[in-house]
Chain A
Amino acid sequence: MSIAVAPAVVLERSVPMAGAVELVLSHPPSAVAVGPGQFFQLAVSAPHTILRRPYSAAWSDPAGGRIGFIFNVVGTGSAWLAARDEGDELDLLGPLGRGFDLEGQRPAICVAGGLGVAVFPGVVQALIARGRNVIVLQGARTAAQLLPASRFPGADVHVATDDGSAGHRGSVVDLFSNLGEGQSGGIDILTCGPTPMLTALIDVAHRQAIPLSDIQVALETPMGCGIGTCLGCAAPRAAGGYFLTCQDGPCVRADRIEWELMTDGFHG
């Protein structure tokens, strides 16, 4: 796999759900094998910014020459990216990090909270292509902030909203808790979302005796370089010390994380 700085042209810009932007870019030629869950560092030219912005590829279609990124506007960098239009050129560094481990034949449950859903279209597609049964559990504040179920063809999609405007009223972790009862063992769980959601999910796993090694988490931490040199993206390791989200992750098994330390100091 080759990691390179490569230009990519914006082919399409759309709003896949309320508050989010999806940019479809020309696929960087160096990135023929983007693993689901891997990320790119996107250069931004917004005034007074300096660092690249890390984004997981939402999906990747090297044969079709296209790659998609879904994100929301949280600051000047993402606002600049969201303002790109068809024909604009972006500078991508990647693919970086470790994606999800999709080996095996067990059923898979993808648990997505908020913008954490952005990583899953490609993940679900890859799981389905491997002939696996896939359940997608997606949570958002309102129905408008859900990525449509049509983005997960072949999967069994269930949703939860804080305001009850679609699906279960409450947390996506409630959905998981209900579904998980009686299923302990024999499932692979892939998750991405705010830290409070992740820690709630881990609590459920403990209660239902689901081994944490069956859970893979796509972590989001503040990130500098993305290539292991700045040591800025440290996350607490269960064995003590820290691992680097950019190199050891972003997708890591939940038993490798010190969850007590994840509750403090991390962006939700």
Chain B
Amino acid sequence: MASMAERPDLKVDLGRGLHLRSPVIVASGTFGYGFDAPQVDRAALGAIVSKGTTLRPHEGNAPIRIAETPSGMLNAIGLQNPGVDHVAHVYAPQWATWDLPVIVNVAGDSVDEYVAVARRLNGVPGVAGLELNISCPNVQSGLQFGVDPVLAAEVTHAVRAVTELPLIVKLTPNVTDIVAVARAVEDAGADAVSAINTYVGMAIDVRRRRPIISRGSGGLSGAAIKPLALHAVWQLAAEVHIPVVGVGGIMTPGDALEFLLAGATAVQLGTVNYVRPQAAAEIHDGIAAYMVQHGLTDMRALPIRSVSVLTHV
């Protein structure tokens, strides 16, 4: 019979009753609405975060939408989604039959739109939580909420007022002080933050003399951004009192462990889902093996906050 040390408990708590069986979550925009990617082992996952969902359907941006860059990829999908009514009517009833929580990523270009989407999803069976996308760099007005602590707090507070669901706010890294935005959304009622969304970047086709992405810029994801994301999580975990979900360039079990040691309560996998559908299971098992190896029985024992580092150079 396996001892506790051999079967570590990977459960995590993101607040307001959102208990996950695993700290491994698939990130918004990399797993659709959970109906594709049959190659991914669902048993390894703690939750799915849906594609960004808006009040009305969006067709998305004109091609070209993606480009590979060194150890990363740019995307400017443009929030292509079927709209919240379709999600609530068609997808959520199916999610309600799953043993895997689905968190709906909510996007909008006004406080009213965020509120309308959140209101529509409140109390809908199958919807386990909301992740507020205040950082999508692809729709012009989307950026504004996430870069300003006051606006970020305003939209968080407004959504908080109309939903009882666990509320995660996904932070943009395209700011001077991500901690200030995180504190503001914590005070406004967020149950957790996820950090980080993509960095704005671009690539130019020198032969055709124009940006590769049709919109010019896109969001950079993948291994290229991992050290940047990790630093954001390290800062946030020390400064906010709500769970931090680490996301950005996680490709391997070792990457995920870095985020968990830095203070993340859970991690989200994004770009790696496109490349290695088996990564979720490998990362889940790698975390479990690490726990065993280090004699840890609880995920809360992982962060290394007590380690002293030079914070100013």
Could you list which residues of chain A lie within 8 angstroms of chain B, going by C-beta atoms?
3-5, 43, 48-52, 93, 221-236, 240-242, 261, 265-267
Contact = CB atoms under 8 A, between A and B. Distances in A.
Contacts of A93: 39, 277
A230 B39 contact: no
Contact of B59 (A3, A48, A52, A242): A242
A240 B31 CA distance: 24
A231 to B, nearest CB: 5
16 contacts: A43-B275, A50-B68, A50-B73, A51-B275, A52-B274, A93-B277, A225-B30, A228-B36, A229-B32, A230-B77, A230-B274, A231-B29, A233-B66, A241-B59, A242-B60, A265-B62
Given A229-B36, A230-B75, A242 B63 contact: yes
Nearest to B205: A267
B276 A234 contact: no
B80 interface: yes
B227 interface: no
B70 A48 contact: yes
Interface in B74-109: 75, 77, 80
Contacts of A230: 29-30, 66, 75, 77, 274
A225 B274 CA distance: 4
Contacts of B71: 48-50
B203 to A, nearest CB: 11
Given A93-B39, A228-B32, A222 B80 contact: no
A74 to B, nearest CB: 12
B278 A5 contact: yes
User: Which of A50, A51, A93 has its CB near the most chain B CB atoms (within 10 A)?
Assistant: A50
B11 interface: no
A226 B32 CA distance: 12
Looking at A3, A51, A93, A232, which has the most chain B CB atoms within 10 Å of its CB? A232
A266 B63 contact: yes
Contacts of A5: 39, 276-278
Which range contains the number of B residues in contact with the other chain?
A: 35 or more
Nearest to A240: B59
Contacts of A235: 63
B30 A50 contact: no
Contacts of B273: 225, 229
B70 A221 contact: no
Contacts of A226: 274
B275 A52 contact: yes
B183 interface: no
B169 interface: no
Most buried by B among A4, A242, A261, A267: A242
A266 B275 CA distance: 23
A234 B72 CA distance: 20
B72 A50 contact: yes
Contacts of B59: 240-242
B214 to A, nearest CB: 5
Interface in B152-201: none
Nearest to A221: B63
Contacts of A225: 30, 37, 273-274
A213 to B, nearest CB: 23
A261 B275 contact: no
Interface in B255-277: 271, 273-277
Given A50-B71, A52-B274, A93-B277, A227 B36 contact: yes
A262 to B, nearest CB: 9
B63 A4 contact: no
B233 interface: no
Interface string B44-77: 0000000100000001111111111011110101
